[in-house]
Every structure is written in C-alpha cells, then in structure tokens.
Structure 1
C-alpha cells in the first residue's frame, strides 16, 4: 500500500463512519516507532506508522485510521479530541475504533544477566566493586593514586 491508497482509504472511512469528508492529507511516516499513528493539530494531517500495516495487516490499519479520524473530526468541531475527553471516548465506541493499538514486538535485546566488576589497587590493595567496566589507563586508586587492575567479573 502506498500513500495514495492510504489517502483514498482514509477518505472512504471518513465518509462511511463519520459521514463527513476528510479534506487533508494522510500518509505513511516510517520514522514513527512507538505509536500507530498521529493526528497533527496544526496541519490537520494524519500520519500512520507503516510497520503496523506490514506486521498486522489491513484490519489494524483501519482501526488506527478510525482512531485518528476521531481526533480529526472532534478537533475541527471544537469538541474534546483528547484521549481523556468523554466526547472522544463516545465517538470511539460509536465508530468501533480501538482506544489503543496493538503493541509492536520489542526490537531491543534485553541482557538477561547483570555483571559486577572487581578491581584492586596495585599499591595499597584497596578493592573496588563496580557495575560498569572502567578504563584502567584513565582511572587510578582514590586513596593512593596507584594503578588499578581488574581482579575479575561475576555475572548475576
């Protein structure tokens, strides 16, 4: 699906569910990461996250468009267009739009274990325990300014 097809779909959904024309621009924004779409208050345009269309298909896309059209029409009518407003919640129910979109699977890899680093001064034998590794050529002992060496690392 491209931007022209998205524009036509948005116009059709606006007429079908809201009985009002959509007179602005709807387009895909591939830079969106955390949201399915957004309604721009200043320009009245609607941006849609293309990843949702790729991963979940047309049904999820229609839900996102209907949600953003609720923001659009309520804002143009000077009614409550924010998520917490009763006008917005009622219109969502009326047109069958979801309040929140399905979350995307996380792309970040979570490190299952944490590490603890052990360092010791070569002069005074003071021991240091740190959660982060340090640059041994840059840092010295805080008591005697002696050189540090790594004694070990432990994964929890």
Structure 2
C-alpha cells in the first residue's frame, strides 16, 4: 500500500480537502497510532496498527491525524484540548485514542501500610525517600510481579 496515496484518498473522501505533504511508516511509534509534524506537515503512522487491528480502525487513526493537519493549516485549534479539534474529529468519525499494541509491564509492586493504596512501578523505589501520596503512610515492597 502506498501510504501517501491512501492518506490523500482519505483526505479527499472524508474532508473534501487535499493532503499536500508526505505520509510515512514509522515502526518506532509505540504508544500512538500516528503523529503529525507541524514544522514540515508530514504524518507518521505505525504499520502495526494496520496489521493488528485492520483497515477500518487504521482509517480512523488516519482521520485523527488529518484533523490535526487540516486544522493546523487553517489556523484553527489543532491540539487535542481544542474544541475545534474535538468537533471535527467527531464529524469525520475519527478515533480519539488508538488501542494499545503492547501490555504495560510493571516490575515492582508497592503498597501503603496504612491505607492499602497499591503502586505499580517499572523501576525500583527507595522506600526511605517515598511515602504514600494518599495518606502519607509508609510503603512496603510486595513480591515482584514480572520475574525474569
């Protein structure tokens, strides 16, 4: 699939506007399905989202990035928090958040002695320096959740 031509087609069909820049595959994207670069107008997309979730969901990701693209070049609010972005995304049936491709892996589990609040962490925490954010109680180290 020629990605730029696909994005141009989606832009014409769903937005009625031309996409005049380049769309490229980027396998390094892990937490997102796509990315818009305002400085040069190009779009990056994660090919794993197309492979894993199919073309219907991938098209919604393309619509999401095209919302950023078209609003930016119209001088309107193109960020996630802007009302214009939210309205346009809803009109074109774009997806707000791309589904996760990878499970979060937490290596350490800590809990508060006082209130029982659980904290999952990827890195080890010095229990002498940190307390519970909820009640200021002392933290205890639970058994590792993912032992290798």
> What is the TM-score with the length of structure 1 in the denominator?
0.67
- What residue number does 2:89 align with? 92
Separation of aligned partners in 2, 1:95 and 1:56: 19
Bigger Rg, which one: 1
Give the SS at the match of 1:24: coil
Offset at residue 101 of structure 1 (A):
1.1
Matching of residue 102 in structure 1 with residue 96 in structure 2: no
Q: Structure 1 stretches (4+) deviating beyond 4 angstroms?
A: 110-114
Q: Which has the higher contact order (CA 8 A, sep 6+)?
A: 2
Give the SS at the match of 2:91: helix
Offset at residue 40 of structure 1 (A):
0.3
The gaps in structure 2 that reach 5 residues or longer are: 111-123, 126-142
Deviations 1:8-49 (A, max 9, x none): 110011001111100000011011111110000101000001
- What residue number does 1:56 align with? 53
- What residue number does 1:149 align with? none
Separation of aligned partners in 1, 2:109 and 2:67: 44
Separation of aligned partners in 2, 1:53 and 1:103: 13
Separation of aligned partners in 1, 2:27 and 2:53: 15
Separation of aligned partners in 2, 1:100 and 1:9: 21
RMSD: 2.3
The gaps in structure 1 that reach 5 residues or longer are: 115-130, 133-154
Offset at residue 105 of structure 1 (A):
3.1
Matching of residue 30 in structure 1 with residue 45 in structure 2: no
Offset at residue 55 of structure 1 (A):
1.0
